[in-house]
């Protein structure tokens, strides 16, 4: 639990330290301080949108998923039992929202369509609204992965989550994360056409 312990004091991905832990902020929000929720959002909302966009391949759906995530945090914050860190808990909710939305709205199809749209946008020289571009071939390859492999690979390469936290979010042991990650990377490399035949171990 050390990594999660450290994450309580550091802003994810920035290395900047926070004086107030996520758990403390949630407790403050539950006791009526809405600004505490705003502080939590400042820490995690952009990250959740990034992750959900990667999961769903659709920014609008991703924002819907994140908004529903906040709704659940607001409604169930009182029942948060502290078994997992607040961060892991919120990611779990977000992943579940992505699964629900993906199932309900044919996310796979939409993701592929979005991918084609994005590819054509990129060809026209447009970029993502944040100015961030992703390799469309890679996105297509990721969308071809099995659901559990896609979730694993996106969570593990998502900035701000350690492999251990990814395992907690998905509710599987870290060994499973490692095996899934290995398999997914092999598939992605095969799908993208390997330029070299030499391999390397995956760092945890």
Query: What SS3 class is residue 63?
Result: helix
Residue 110 contacts residue 57 (beta carbons within 8 Å): yes
Nearest-CA neighbor of 88 among 186, 155, 185? 155
Residue 85 contacts residue 22 (beta carbons within 8 Å): yes
Minimum distance of other proteins from residue 119's CB (angstroms): 14
Task: Pick the stretch among 45-53, 92-100, 101-109, 113-121 that binds other proteins (CB under 8 A).
Answer: 45-53
Binding of other proteins by 204 (CB under 8 A)? yes
Place of tokens 């607040």: 86
Binding of other proteins by 102 (CB under 8 A)? no
Among 30, 67, 96, 144, binds other proteins (CB under 8 A): 67
Among 11, 24, 92, 119, binds other proteins (CB under 8 A): 24
Binding of other proteins by 58 (CB under 8 A)? no
Residue 140 contacts residue 60 (beta carbons within 8 Å): no
Applying the rule CB under 8 A, the residues between 148 and 177 that interact with other proteins are: 153-154, 157-160, 172-176
Task: Pick the stretch among 18-26, 99-107, 109-117, 118-126 that binds other proteins (CB under 8 A).
Answer: 18-26
Residue 150 contacts residue 181 (beta carbons within 8 Å): no
Binding of other proteins by 196 (CB under 8 A)? yes
């Amino acid at each position: 639990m050390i990594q999660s312990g450290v994450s309580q004091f550091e802003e994810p991905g920035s290395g900047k330290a926070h004086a107030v832990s996520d758990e403390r902020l949630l407790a403050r929000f539950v006791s009526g301080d809405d600004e505490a929720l705003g502080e939590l959002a400042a820490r995690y909302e952009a990250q959740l949108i990034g992750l959900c966009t990667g999961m769903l391949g659709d920014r609008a759906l991703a924002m819907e998923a994140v908004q529903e995530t906040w709704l659940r945090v607001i409604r169930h914050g009182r029942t948060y039992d502290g078994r997992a860190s607040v961060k892991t808990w919120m990611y779990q909710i977000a992943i579940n929202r992505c699964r629900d939305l993906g199932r309900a709205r044919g996310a796979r199809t939409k993701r592929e369509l979005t991918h084609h749209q994005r590819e054509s946008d990129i060809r026209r020289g447009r970029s993502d609204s944040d100015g961030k571009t992703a390799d469309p071939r890679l996105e297509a390859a990721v969308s071809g992965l099995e659901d559990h492999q896609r979730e694993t690979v996106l969570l593990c390469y998502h900035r701000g989550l350690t492999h251990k936290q990814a395992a907690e979010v998905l509710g599987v042991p870290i060994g499973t994360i490692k095996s899934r990650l290995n398999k997914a990377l092999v598939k992605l490399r095969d799908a993208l056409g390997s330029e070299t035949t030499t391999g390397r171990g995956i760092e945890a």
